[in-house]
Structure 1
Amino acid sequence: MGVKLGILGLGTVGTGTVQLLQDKIDRHPLLQEIEIYRVGVRSPNKPRQVELPAGVVTTDLEAIVNDPAIDIIVEVMGGLEPTRSLILTAIKNGKHVVTANKAVISRFGAEIFTAANAAGVYVMLEASVGGGIPVIQPLKQSLSVNQIHAITGIVNGTTNYILTRMQTEGSDFDDVLADAQSLGYAEADPTADVDGLDAADKIAILASLGFGGRINLADVYCEGIRQVSKTDIAYATKLGFVIKLLAIAKGQNHDRSQLSVRVHPTLVPQSHPLATINGVYNAILVEGEPIGQVMFFGPGAGAGATASAVCSDILNLVATLKTDTSKAHPLLACSHQHYCQISPISELVSRFYTRFLTKDQSGVIGKLGTIFGKYDVSLESVVQTGFQEQLAEIVVVTHDVKEGDFRKALAEIKNLAAIDSIPSILRVL
């Protein structure tokens, strides 16, 4: 008996998925068991890069998720609604779901997985994080016996491409963004990428799997790359760092009952495994016990890469349907119910890089040191780097400090008559 698919969406990822499912030669034999039964689209007359039999393509998405003949719904249409409602209807009708939609999972995952567990079906989401990089299944299966201590990733190709070009060319953010948009690497509205929202969706999903609890997306601290300047990138290079937008989930205490889950531009030491991940590539570094460090690297987007992940989930489900379906497969399901406790960013202990513009007066560095000392901020290095017009530029790198204490010190420093501005505050890995 063949397994019938209902595919929602025939854009870039949907087209790539159909092409891969149709190209069965020299691929996994389970592909022979799959029938593309219905494909839902918004615009039926749009030219397509794939050929499908008459009657397969429809604009009636509700009919697909309600069709009793369909076994698996493949959601590659994106967006929050009607996507969420369609997924929930499919689950209620006893259908398994494969999705590439990180936004719907990070926001409505609790509702979706509760419904899936009640209905005895699986929701598979390999393609929602890291494009074609296999990281969801390894966290669920291969690494499941490990105690995960930290997940640190470059999970947004657009921002990595922009920062890489700023670093290699010495260009400004706005110029590289405009170029990235013209090349198709950045959307016309780049907000989700450059403000870190896309990366926040992804780290919420990874943190949930790595730390065995649900993540409230509103608790994930999120800061994008708009404020990163070519000046900071140049100073970072001199200090032995590169600047990357990192998504980080980390246990804050020995029993991992408190997590830090955050997205922000970060100074990464040039010797760190993530420092050399450039262009549109993604990488996720997982640290745990007893495994140590494992890094997953590859293309984070694109039709082929994402379709690879979608189809791997489909094959997993087909294999499950072909065997004993009376019992849930515990390494495919997401069954945790509780929410992880996420520490506020003020509790984070980190090193900081800060750039000050000051009036050219004697004793400024001494005053900075005095105020930092008052709030237990220990300085690793203080360098007066030169002048911008009439203002002296001072770059400070701290030792580990609690963010709340560091921010209190900065609030007092801002009131010094000699301080013109603090153009950059960046965390250091």
Structure 2
Amino acid sequence: MKIAFLTLGCKLNYAETSTYERGFSSNGLEIVPWEDKADVYLINTCSVTERAEKKCRNVIRKMHRTAPEAKIVVTGCYAELRREDLSRIEGVSLVFGAKEKSQVVGRTMAMLRGEEMGSEGSFKQLSMAAEYKEISKETLSAFSTEGRTRSFLKVQDGCNNFCAYCTVPYARGDSRNIPIAEVVSQAEQIAAGGVREIVLTGVNTGDFGRTTGEKFLDLLKRLNDVEGIERYRISSIEPNLITSEIIDWIASGTKFQPHFHIPLQTGSDTLLRRVGRKYSTDFFAERIEYIRSAMGPGRSGGCSAMDPFVFFGIDVIVGLPGETQELFEETYSFLKDRIRPSYIHVFPYSKRPGTVAAQWKDQVRDSIKTERVAILENLCSELHSEFIAKNRGRRSTVLWESDEKNGMMGGYTGNYIRMEKPYDESSVNRIEEIII
């Protein structure tokens, strides 16, 4: 039998999908591309915005029209939050919420053997509070590979922050983590497969250690010793969790790259307080400046002035309830005049049922959100071009990838600048010193 996979949403979903793929492969199913004809289609869903949920529904309906005899299995955040809605869509055979991730392979195989059919009545729908407790009991170990060069390794799941706009705690449960020894073992498996770079992923990655009593920095140090892995990145980390101790250790000469993805969400202190973020703009700016001074060109400790600048990718939500023009301009000014990140990931606020912010009366019109997204995307283009320009002529390294397009191959520098050169098969999965 053949099975195909489609993953929507974050890198954590990709890591979990890859784990399902290995599980189904070990049970004798053939993994085929999503576009091919398959007997089973597994969709790993996202629920971070209304648009993401709509895309999930459309994909399911389209797949059923295209392959009406195939079994459709749905998992992921949307499956957790809207299980009953998904179960009613024609063609859906099984729905797995967050607390059933370890059952995806086993129950699907049972269904294919004729031992279990349909999802109605399979699980009792619990209250939101009870569901949250059930989700928090499970932590699925997972890692994915992106071609032959890079792997996304899940080290943590869930979140305790309950920001006013966010459904993630309800979809993924309490903050919890995999023990350091298990993470290191998985990193060794990844290295044995020839992968050279690992990206650490989690819902709230820097909160690692909450359930095992271990420290995030201790995890980083153990991973740094894994032979065969030459580069690490941290996919996303909250500003209040990236401590000076962590920064100083990374800057001391480790495998961790000068590339940070840090969520800001808004550059207005008024809105940061209102939605429940755990830092101020002053604190955020101080973290950025500390990292730049510790890891940037010309730092103390023998760093060459020819070394590259640190890459900062910053998440920003526009149109949060209560975001007046004045408060939006505070965000714009904070980004442009104070921190000048390398890239801005801009998202329009999406009202999510069940969250505190969805009940607020001062919602921002969609047309205004669209205008503000465009303004920040233009700023992003300006800042990203500036970042690339100031890195030109500096020394770095590139991990070359296997994809070929128009006779060229690509790869990323340590500080996440995309580079290209004529395709050379001998360069695939090799790290090469270059001048940007």
TM-score under structure 1 length normalisation: 0.25
Higher relative contact order (CA 8 A, sep 6+): 1
TM-score under structure 2 length normalisation: 0.25
**Which structure features the higher share of strand residues?**
1
